[in-house]
Amino acid sequence: MTEIDAGAIRGITPPMTTPFTEAGAIDEAAFRAETRFLLDAGVHGLAVGGSSGEGHALSTDEVCRLTEIAVEEADGKVPVIAGIIVDSTQQAIERGSAAAAAGAAALQVTPVHYLFRPDDSHMKEHFRELTEAVAAPVVIYNVVPWTYLSPELLVEIMTDVPGVVGVKQSAGDLKLLADLLATAPEGVRIMSAVDALMYPSFTLGAHGAIAAILTAAPTATVELWNAVAAGDHASALDLHGRLLALWNAMVGDNLPSAVKAALDHQGVTGGLPRRPMAAASGAQRQAIGQALRGLPH
């Protein structure tokens, strides 16, 4: 496995959407425009093929193509993380190897999650086999409710499996994020995906975030990150309140579509979701547009 400075995984790392055409193909021109929009906002990294990117609905070839485009557009300015959402060790190795060959600096990997949950020892071995076989470091994407990994298990994996360099902690529970930050081994990266609570995540010491709200409002979340880093908590708290209003307008079962609607409002073509996900409703679009008017962009 190649070595990477885990510190490169940091700050505002938006999980990009994947714009689709009416025919269900990736709209590469729209994806390039989204990449440039996020880079122009000053983000610190890019993530492709995650939940916001409908990675569960992408083929390996599509994940690789998105990775190649993002790497090309980033041109070395920021690292690109590729999402791996699959259900076996063999699948994870196959897709992870392809994404690494396409230029991914790291992989964001969900635990296997189709119906049958491996016990803790087999879950740990899954990540060990993956990192021994793939030449890219792994960030565990802890998100699936019925295969959710406890802080204790995550710390054990990060301690015993050198290729696992961090965790993206999701599911809206700030206490679990705090527990993980308090117990994680030195040198790993704990990234928040508690979208509603970016401000407290950063003040608790999260090393950054990979969360849908960042893609919907990159300029505002970069400003929030910088405000916390500068100790300007008055400005950070003000931004938190306005970002919370946006999140409340977005959150739902078609969250990727809501993020695409936010991009549309900012002059970036979000494209369609991949069927059968529903596009953002008129009411969603109106609420998102109203919330965005209160944010810098």
Q: Which amino acid is at 239?
A: L
Pick the catalytic residue: 141, 148, 175, 199?
Answer: 141
3-state secondary structure string across 52-119: CCCHHHCCHHHHHHHHHHHHHHHCCCCCEEEEECCCCHHHHHHHHHHHHHCCCCEEEECCCCCCCCCC
140 close to 111: Cβ distance less than 8 angstroms:
yes
> What is the H or E stretch that residue 138 is in?
strand 138-142
- Could you tell me how many residues make up the chain? 297
Pair of tokens at residue 181: 């930050």
Pick the catalytic residue: 124, 168, 199, 260?
Answer: 168
d(CA 270, CA 267): 9
> What is the H or E stretch that residue 140 is in?
strand 138-142
Q: How far is CA 43 from CA 18, 77, 208, 235, in A?
A: 18, 10, 11, 19
Look up 168 and say whether it is catalytic.
Answer: yes
Estimate to the nearest angstrom the gap between the alpha carbon of 14 and the chain centroid. Answer: 6
Look up 124 and say whether it is catalytic.
Answer: no
Just list the catalytic residues. Answer: 141, 168
